[in-house]
Structure 1
Amino acid sequence: MLCLQVLQTSAQAAAEDAFTVRDIRLNGLQRISPGAVLIALPLRVGDRFDPQRSSAIIRALFQTEFFSDVQLDRDGDVLVINVVERPSIAELNITGNKDIKTEDLQKGLREAGLATGRVFVPSALDQLRQELQRQYYANGKYGMKVDTEVKDLPRNRVRIDITIAEGDVARIRQINIVGNQVFDDETLRGAFELSTPNLLSFITGNDKYSRQKLAGDLEKLHAFYLDRGYLDFDIKSTQVAITPDKREIYITVNVTEGQQYTVDEVKLSGNLVVEPEELVKLVQLRPGDTFSRKKMTQTSDAISERLGEAGYAFANVNPSPEIDKQNATAKLTFFVDPGKRAYVRRISFAGNEKTADEVMRREMRQLEATTFSSAAVERSRVRLERLGFFEDVTVETPAVPGSPDQVDVNFTVKERPSGSISAGVGFGQGSGLLLNAAVTQNNFLGTGDSVSVNFSNSDYSRVYSVAHTNPYATVDGVSRSVSAFLRSTDAADANLTEYDTDSLGGSWGYNVPLSEFSAFGFGVAVEKTKIGTGAFTSTEVLDFINDNGDNYNIFKLNASLARDTRNRAIFPDRGMLRRVSGEIAAPIGDLQFYKLNFTEQHHFPFNDTVSLLLSGTLGYGDGYGDTTELPFFENFFAGGFRTLRGFKDNTLGPRTFSAFTDDDGDPFGGDRLILGRTELFFPVPFMDQQSKNFRMSVFGDAGNVFGADDPVKLGELRYSTGVAAVWISPFGAISIAIAQPFNDGPLDETQRFQFSLGAGF
């Protein structure tokens, strides 16, 4: 309760008389500083006080909102001000909120004057309700309710409890577009993010009304018409109506389409600096075409990019359409201002706490003190991403202050874990229990080298290995790899026929870059392998051992030719890979055979979060000389995560014959392999910020393996489809697939749910 009282005691007559203020005394202050009060006073020591100034003083102090009561008194020539402070907010509790984070709500309340430590003003509760309504209405929750309770605490403090009942999001019942004649409602609504409820709404949430989304959809509608030549298109009005229960939304958009314009003439003007013929090829609109703002913008961007490749970092290309409404035509002129040719002053790196600058600098295709090239800068960024050391790479090219012809190139990276020292346990449905102890560093001491010492043990194999790769063994980018391994395998536990192998070997190889995207690899490998058999070993294995023995020294020569334009080493979403490789076991060894492989991948981005993968793999192998067939332990296999999901690991293709059993035999692999894959990667539903270490997809897999005596028939290919997810976690890749095979044969072993935890990616 506000109170104003001017005391009239025995000295009342003197109080009513004017006097010169010799001092000001403040009584009742607890948290508010005297200085804050004195600054607000419209009176100072030495001023004359009279009763007419009382109301101005009282009003000024109440306007600070610090006090609930103010009284004035006089003690001689001293003005005495008695105040009662408003309570401070000791606690501010918010409950019931799910859709909006507490931190976000607190930020809005702070702007409304409600925050811990501030003075509590009861009128701020109305602002509180308005602020919460604003935030929830923006998210389509018009049925939300807010209850507040203020509790007194000791020492003139209060606790404010805010209870929110969010209610349901208002769902769109109808979207009406009025005034359209050229395009029907269904076509126009197809460009909207918002929609009426459908089968996918529970995932996409596109039937939940949002003011921001509607604004975006109206912009998309405007762009839809401008891209089809309707330059006079206008959105006259938009009405959003909500039902009384605040659960359903009706949206009506009134439009005027206007007439469609065609391109009458296209010209390039200004200082073109590069050959005009090159720029003309970049123009996407020609006389007689329907006008398109999208193509006009793409043309402007393409010309700017071409000028950037020529060193003109500050080029401006401004399209200017000249409209002729009478004839419904547009003359289009692109004004080219290349500016000065730019040079790179300095290239810098930030965010690389582990990786040495030199490792990044050797990937640069843009050099310091040379002409700036936007293409070279972008290629440098892609090469950094392809290292696999970084989760994200961004680049900026700011102008150098005071130098109109210089720029700096600044790369910022976010490093991902590139190595580990670990001992762990994992599980894979194909490999069973995985025990591993490893020291792995893909970016050893920040040098870019890959070093690993590994021990792993699963149901069917035990592997000890060491390996080292130097990607820049020479300054020209020739890489060198060396490795050694000791491996024991029990094929029966890998879903194959019964035999076991003990192998010891090593390899040495080089990879030589032929161009920016192509490389040639070659190397040698030495391997000593011993085959063991059991009581149920198949006839095929026994026959091979009878012909060739069970202990082999193998000397392999290998070579490969690859072209790789993919944009990233992990989770690429654009570019292609084409790789041909082969290896041959030289005649100086105990076995003579060869294997050929061909792989092709194409990644097609639809936008920043959705991309399509098309890939295929072919494999062929055979023996030569004294070895009449491809050794069975070198066979190709299909089934499982890496080849054909939905089928059990290694179980497709030819099967063995056993003289000891009457069953259908065990998977044996084959000397020919055909694989194909189509996979659509998309954002993770319900995640506002997408992770670059996690992705989901829908896929279709196809393939099989064939034996030497089996003709390759496309009708024998197996197919599956399903959904998959991969997470590159700190302790390894976690892969999950739910697949449905739909033409499995009577002997095929299917596995609709597959997962792998803790295995390599």
Structure 2
Amino acid sequence: MSFSRKTPFLRRGLPALLVALCLPALAHAFTPFVVRDIKVNGIQRVDAGTVFSYLPVKVGEEFTEAEASEAIQRLYATGFFSDVRIDTANDVLVVTVQERPTIASVSFNGMREFDVKGITQSLKQVGFGEGRVFDRSMLERARFEIEQQYLSKGKYGVEINPIITPLPRNRVGVSFEIFEGERAHISEIDVVGNKAFSDDDLRDAMDLTTSGMMTWYTGTDKYSREKLEGDVERLRSFYLDRGYLEYSAEAPQVTISPDREHIFITYTVHEGEPYKVRSVKLAGNLLGLDKNIRDLIAVKAGETFSAAKTNETAKAITEYLGTLGYAFANVNPNPVLDRDNHETDLTFYVDPGKRVYVRRIQIGGNTRTRDEVIRREMRQQEAAWYDGNAIKNSRDRIDRLGYFNEVNVSSEPVPGSTDQIDINVDVKEKPTGLINLGVGYGSTDGVILSAGISQDNIFGSGNTLSLNVNTSEYNRALVLSHTDPYWTKDGISKTTSLYYRRTTPYDSDRGIGDYRVTSYGGGFNFGVPISENDRIFAGVSYEHNKLSDLSANYTPQAYHDFVDQYGESTNSLIFNLGWSKDTRDSALAPTEGSYTRLSADYSILDLEYYMLSAQQQYYLPLGRAFTLAFNGAVDWGRSYSDKDFPVIKNVYGGGIGSVRGYEGASLGGRDTKTDDYLGGARRVYGNMQLYLPFPGATRDRTLRWFIFADAGKVDNPQGECARGRNNYAEDPCGWKYAAGVGLSWQSPLGPLQLSWGRALNAKEGDDKQAFQFQIGTGF
């Protein structure tokens, strides 16, 4: 067998299927031969060995027409080549290919609705991305995938134009030019087939709404496929919660106006009749806990069937079994319908599964915080039976540390084992350090330097260390404190603090200070846990105070009275005792739970007084995105000697932290000589806030805006309220009320709060302040 010329088996551009059909017709021109050599032409990036691996023949083997057809089909099927040709010359098999270009880059211009990383990932899932072989059909598939993403968000006017740019070395760059257009708004929602409930009742159960006054903020009039599917389920739940067990619905009809800006949705429902519960039973393996489980049943015989109560019961039983180690308990409610009488017999089938224990607790996501800081908050132990309550308490305790933006606790079965699981604790750390550096200049203070450093989780140890320095000429301070939350392995905490403060109030009329107060001291405070959420505090501190440079005309009379009674220098030993209880689900942005704190300070030596303090916070979740928060506090100080309560220990109110809308520290009595704010020995205030999610920041749970109402007062229980020089203030010690809006954010610089408040009952002489700003405040 010999060939004097090349015999082509495939012409450029014919598809593999056509080749397979045509090759038999070329048999008269092709005689099988033994391959002496194989050559590959046209490859640039694909390795020659890859081509050899797809050929059904090797050197020294006979090459037939059937193998030629198979070789061509195999090489086309790889997707690497746009053209394949096989020739022979002198028993040499020559494979000539033309490679498809590869995608060097994928970019998007004009895309604002989606994250580039997310879209890029979704395109890779359909086979289109950097490093992939470029194919026109795959390009169209990618364009269609992007378009579907926009349509699911209600952007029906989107235009997507791919631009292909040839690059050296047989590569291309792909750029998608996107005109997003406006999101289509819902103009009408209709329900067909409803008799028991009105259209308005059913529309109230949905998330999607027609355009209205507040939809610019809520966005509920913007159509999306996910929200539509959610509303289908909400309608179903609405009817099932009211006993309509035969409820069914057709797929909602969605139409769009010719201009692609208005959407019309129609739901067609089949209600049926409501059912009452005739009997409630338990079945399955109850582990001898029939009574305990029956107490968890919220559904009662004789009531209208409620899917919400039914699911609530199933969840309660599952969680109860979880506390006993049955992590994979399954509870299935099964209603049996009596259609003639519209009654149902409800049976809860309980399958506890196998009791499991925790093999390992794995910590992840902590790049700075040590594992032990997280592990010591775990109430679920390794090698112990699984306990659902312990898992929840552990998650809440870790979140209340305040070191993490996110805390997720999950469980997974151990491969090959039926009675073991692993617990995964994944955290996302937040900045826990705060550094303040300030340089300023004032006509009175001159150059002002201030610095502060605070680290709530120093070196990832869970300890807190802070140092604050202020070098103003008239206000200087140096404060150093350290807290070890696990001073002992039992969880006893210890706080050590040292401080030095010097204050010289400035009088602009005289150009000098009115007086000087110098204080220094230090102390220890210990916290002893007495339960999962309760802690007792006790401590002692020493403090030295000195008043000097008093002016006969410009120093407040209250400070002259203090010196007359106590002298210029005083020493005091202050004992404190307290109790706190914290059940909040988060220290950063609580949505449920409460916080309670009671404390008492008792001073001996030169200053003989006591101060009682109480605080109560309560967080009530209203749905998934709203939280109603309450805060109340009382401080009550008295002297237990025949002297007045020391003015240097007065408490103050007004501004962020008490009653917004009034200037900071402005509540309470005024000095009769200078009109200076004096505060008082008693302070009472309360706050109510409704937290709402910030538009466009649903991923950041610490960024929220709120509506608030405040009330509070500062006065002196042991004496009348001083109204200032010439009775300047009409009612400085009366109740003050305010309301407004604000913004809170756990910023990288610390807790940030902005508020705009309106004083509702300001009197003559009250100092109002609408806009207020603070970093480092709480509630």
Query: Does the aligned pair in 1 maintain the 2:255–2:263 contact within 8 Å?
Result: yes
1:223 Cα deviation from its structure 2 partner: 1.1
- 1:433 touches 1:458 (CA, 8 Å); kept in 2? yes
More displaced, 737-746 or 172-181?
Answer: 737-746
Are the structure 2 counterparts of residues 3 and 376 from structure 1 closer, same or farther at C-alpha, using a change threshold of 3 Å? closer
2:23 paired residue number: none
Structure 2 residue corresponding to 1:667, chosen from 648, 673, 677? 677
**Equivalent runs, 1:103-142 vs 2, <5 Å:** 103-111=117-125, 113-142=127-156
Match of 1:699 among 704, 708, 713: 708
Is residue 557 from structure 1 mapped to residue 569 from structure 2 by the alignment? no
2:74 & 2:530 partners in 1: Cα distance? Answer: 81
Note if contact 2:693-2:703 (Cα within 8 Å) is conserved in structure 1. no
Task: Give yes or no for the alignment of 1:638 onto 2:653.
Answer: yes
Aligned equivalents of 1:551, 1:753: Cα separation in 2: 39
CA contact (8 A) 2:651 2:681 kept: yes
What is the CA-CA distance between 1:438 and the residue it aligns to? 4.3
- 1:451-480 Cα offsets, whole Å, 9 max, x none, are 334324569742212223333344443333
SS of residue in 1 equivalent to 2:315: helix
Match of 1:612 among 613, 628, 631: 628
* 1:232 counterpart = 2:246: yes
Question: 1:723 maps to what in 2?
Answer: 741
- How far does residue 357 in structure 1 lie from its aligned partner after superposition? 4.5
TM (norm. structure 2) is 0.85
State the Cα distance separating 1:446 from its structure 2 match: 4.5
Of 318, 330, 334 in structure 2, the residue corresponding to residue 304 of structure 1 is: 318
Q: Report the counterpart of residue 488 of structure 1 in structure 2.
A: 502
Q: Tell me the CA shift for residue 254 of structure 1.
A: 0.5
Structure 1 residues 2 and 207: alpha-carbon distance in aligned structure 2, compared to 1, 3 A threshold: farther
**Structure 1 CA distance for aligned equivalents of residues 326 and 514 of structure 2:** 67
1:579–1:760 distance in 2 versus 1, CA, 3 Å? closer
Alpha carbons of structure 1 residues 80 and 603: separation in structure 2 relative to 1, 3 Å: same
CA change 1:71–1:750 in 2 (3 A) is same
1:494-518: per-residue Cα shift (whole Å, max 9, x none)? 9xx9654110112223333333333
The one-character-per-residue Cα deviations of 1:98-134 (angstroms, maximum 9, x if unpaired) are 1123333334444555434444334444334322322
- Alignment-mate amino acid for residue 210 of structure 2: T
- Greater mean deviation of Cα atoms: 221-230 or 552-561: 552-561
C-alpha change, 1:411 and 1:19, in structure 2 (3 Å) is closer
Pair 1:655-2:670 in alignment: yes
Q: CA deviation at 1:225?
A: 1.0
Distance 1:348 1:123 in 2: 45
Matched AA of 1:319:
P
Query: C-alpha separation between the residues in 2 aligned to 1:372 and 1:151?
Result: 58
Find out whether 1:278 has 2:295 as its counterpart: no
**Aligned: 1:624 with 2:654:** no
2:116 alignment counterpart: 102
Q: Secondary structure at the match of 1:129?
A: helix
Match of 1:10 in 2: none
For 1:521, which of 502, 513, 537 is the aligned residue?
537
Structure 1 CA distance, aligned partners of 2:336 and 2:320? Answer: 25
Cα distance in 2, alignment partners of residues 409 and 69 from structure 1? 54
| Structure 2 counterpart of 1:506 | 522
- How far off its partner does 1:169 sit? 1.0
Which shifted more, 523-532 or 88-97?
88-97
1:543 partner amino acid: D
Amino acid across the alignment from 1:709: E
Instruction: Find out whether 1:218 has 2:227 as its counterpart.
Output: no
**1:307-344: CA deviations, max 9, x gaps?**
22233334332222111111111111122233444444
Amino acid at match of 1:576: S
Q: 1:434 to 1:419 in 2, by over 3 A?
A: farther
CA-CA distance at 1:59 after TM superposition: 6.7
Q: 1:480 and 1:132, CA in 2 relative to 1: closer, same or farther beyond 3 A? A: closer
Query: Which SS does the other structure have where 2:755 is aligned?
Result: strand
Between the aligned partners of 1:357 and 1:123, the Cα distance in structure 2 is 50
Aligned residue number for residue 603 of structure 1: 619
Residue type matched to 1:255 in 2? V
**Which residue is 2:477 aligned to?**
463
Match of 2:252, SS?
strand
TM-score (norm 1): 0.87
The alpha carbon displacement at 1:302 in A equals 0.9
Deviations 1:278-301 (A, max 9, x none): 322211110111111111111111
Gaps of 5+ in 2: 1-10, 20-25, 723-729
Please tell me whether residue 676 in structure 1 is matched to residue 686 in structure 2.
yes
Deviation at 1:489, TM superposition (A): 2.4
Secondary structure at the aligned position of 2:251 is classed as strand
Q: How does 1:104-183 map to 2 (within 5 A)?
A: 104-111=118-125, 113-183=127-197
Taking a change above 3 Å as real, the CA distance of residues 283 and 86 of structure 1, as seen in their structure-2 partners, is closer
Contact 1:386 1:568 in 2 (8 A): yes
Match of 2:202 in 1: 188
Q: Is the 8 A contact 1:594 1:630 kept in 2?
A: no
Write out aligned runs for 1:389-408 (5 A). Answer: 389-401=403-415, 404-408=418-422
1:699-754 residue CA offsets vs partner (Å, 9 max, x unmatched): 22221212431499999422222232233333333322222332222222222222
Q: CA separation in 2, counterparts of 1:644 and 1:459?
A: 30
Separation (CA, whole Å) in 2 of partners of 1:547 and 1:415: 52
Partner of 1:9: none
In structure 1, C-alpha distance between the alignment counterparts of 2:446 and 2:272, rounded to whole Å: 67
Q: Is the 8 A contact 1:348 1:411 kept in 2?
A: yes
Q: Determine whether 1:290 maps to 2:299.
A: no
Residue 168 (structure 1) shift: 0.9
Counterpart position of 1:685: 695
8 A Cα contact 2:638 2:681, kept in partner:
yes
Give how far 1:562 is off: 2.8
Contact kept, 8 Å, 2:732 with 2:766, in 1: the verdict is no
- Unmatched runs of 5 consecutive residues or more in structure 1: 7-12
Aligned residues: 739
Structure 1 counterpart of 2:330, one-letter code: N
Instruction: Indicate if the aligned counterparts of 1:144 and 1:165 stay in contact, CA closer than 8 A.
Output: yes
SS at match of 1:668: strand
Q: Secondary structure at the match of 1:283?
A: coil
- Aligned counterpart in structure 1 of residue 598 of structure 2, from 580, 593, 601: 580
Distance 1:74 1:445, change over 3 A: closer
What are the residue-to-residue correspondences of 1:319-338 with 2, within 5 Å?
A: 319-338=333-352
Distance 2:164 2:362 in 1: 55
Q: Secondary structure at the match of 1:652?
A: coil
Alpha-carbon separation, structure 2, partners of 1:236 and 1:745: 63
Deviations 1:643-675 (A, max 9, x none): 1222211112322222xx7xxx23221222111
Q: Aligned pair 1:373/2:387, yes or no?
A: yes
1:593 to partner: Cα distance: 2.0
Q: Which residue of 2 aligns with 1:252?
A: 266
| Partner Cα separation in structure 2 for residue 53 and residue 415 of structure 1 | 61
Q: Which moved more, 1:170-179 or 1:750-759?
A: 750-759
Greater displacement, 383-392 / 644-653? 383-392
How far 1:355 sits from its partner (Å)? 4.3
Deviation per residue, 1:221-244 (Å, 9 max, x gap): 111111111111111231110111
Compared CA separation, residues 500 and 184, structure 1 to 2 (3 A): farther
- Counting only pairs closer than 5 Å after superposition, residues 3-152 of structure 1 correspond to structure 2 as 3=13, 16-20=29-33, 22=35, 23-38=37-52, 46-49=61-64, 66-71=80-85, 73-111=87-125, 113-152=127-166
Q: Deviations over 1:427-467 (max 9, x none)?
A: 9xxx9998544454434454443333432456974221222
CA RMSD of aligned residues (A): 3.6
Aligned residue type for 1:509: N
